[in-house]
Amino acid sequence: YRFSRRPDIGDKIAVSFEFFPPKTDAMEAKLWETTMRLQPLAPSFVSVTYGAGGSTRERTARTVGRMVRDTRLRPAAHLTCVDATRDEVDEVIREFLGMGVTRFVALRGDPAEGVGARYRPHPGGYANAAELVAALREKGASDISVSAYPEKHPESPDFATDIDMLKRKVDSGATRAITQFFFDNDSYERYVERVRRAGIYVPIVPGILPVHNFTQVANFSARCGAHVPAWLAERFDGLHDDPQTHALVAAAVAAEQVLDLVERGITDFHFYTMNRADLVFAICHMIGIRSAEPLHEVKPAAA
């Protein structure tokens, strides 16, 4: 019954899409195909991640640059504090500002050894995401998103410490928080209540991860503190070798999650696309978002 009512609310919903910078020519072609398919959904912005330890600095810049040049999208550049001096980070910020990019997603990041290793700030670098936000603000960034963790970050001893860090980031100038992915909408709602009680009023945009590969998501979740409920595991049980059914179930699961959040009054959604369009496109369709241009007019931009 919920599905039949969704088209009339599509114009009240804002979506954003996250991509990662491609490593190979084939991955780049795939990203471009995805971008062109999703562009007509008129996202409020798209974002491009920054690899561990700044490892994708050039690729992130190249991908963002191409979006600026060849699309009508509004790209946001992710940036981390990992293994870089303030001067080095400032240079990256200037590079983006020089392209006309004023949207950023500011993060502390994870150690180059990977999630779970102990984080040590670079002695000459920005110590945390709050300092990075302040630097971005000072240099002219207009729209700064930061992370938020509905099930708390694995390094946070408790929710109070976690939310205190979010408050520091917002007090430094962040305009929006995007959450780590989650599957339990109640935990998101409880978290937003805690955040509001702490006097934080920026949008806490749910980060939605369509489950392209359940096994990978389950492994990754364990490392980044996102809980995989038993009912979710059950839905994907036995589908490892059945990609078609897996994709259909993934679309249904994500649509159900998003539609439930819509029922709870949420109007902004950030999608972790994994550089793939189909599931995200289908879910957006179900929440009433329609292509702003006829599909036959959508042509990939020249390389």
User: Residues interacting with ligand FAD, by CB under 6 A?
Assistant: 49-50, 52, 78, 80, 105, 107-110, 128-129, 147, 153, 155-156, 161-162, 165, 178, 180, 207
Q: What amino acid occupies position 204?
A: I
Residue closer to ligand FAD by CB (options 147, 273) is 147
- ∠ CA 166-171-177, nearest 5°, is 40
> For 269, phi and psi rounded to 5 degrees?
-135, 140
- The nearest distance, CB 91 to ligand FAD, in angstroms, is 18
- The nearest distance, CB 299 to ligand FAD, in angstroms, is 29
Residue closer to ligand FAD by CB (options 226, 255) is 226
Residue closer to ligand FAD by CB (options 146, 253) is 146
**Stretch (H or E) spanning 178:** strand 176-179
18 flagged as catalytic = yes
Q: Which residue is catalytic, options 18, 28, 131, 151?
A: 18
Tokens encoding 11: 């114009």
Residue closer to ligand FAD by CB (options 39, 128) is 128
CB 145 within 8 A of CB 176: yes
Strand-pairing partners, residue 78, are: 105
**Stretch (H or E) spanning 253:** helix 243-263
The DSSP-derived string for 110-160 is: --TT-TTSPP---TTS--SHHHHHHHHHHHT--EEEEEE-TT--TT-SSHH
- The nearest distance, CB 43 to ligand FAD, in angstroms, is 15
- The nearest distance, CB 249 to ligand FAD, in angstroms, is 25
CB 288 within 8 A of CB 10: yes
- How many other β-carbons are positioned within 10 Å of the β-carbon of residue 98? 9
- The nearest distance, CB 129 to ligand FAD, in angstroms, is 4
Bridge-based pairing state of the strands 75-80 and 207-208: unpaired
Helices (H), 71-184: 86-98, 129-139, 159-171
Residue closer to ligand FAD by CB (options 66, 176) is 176
- Just list the catalytic residues: 18
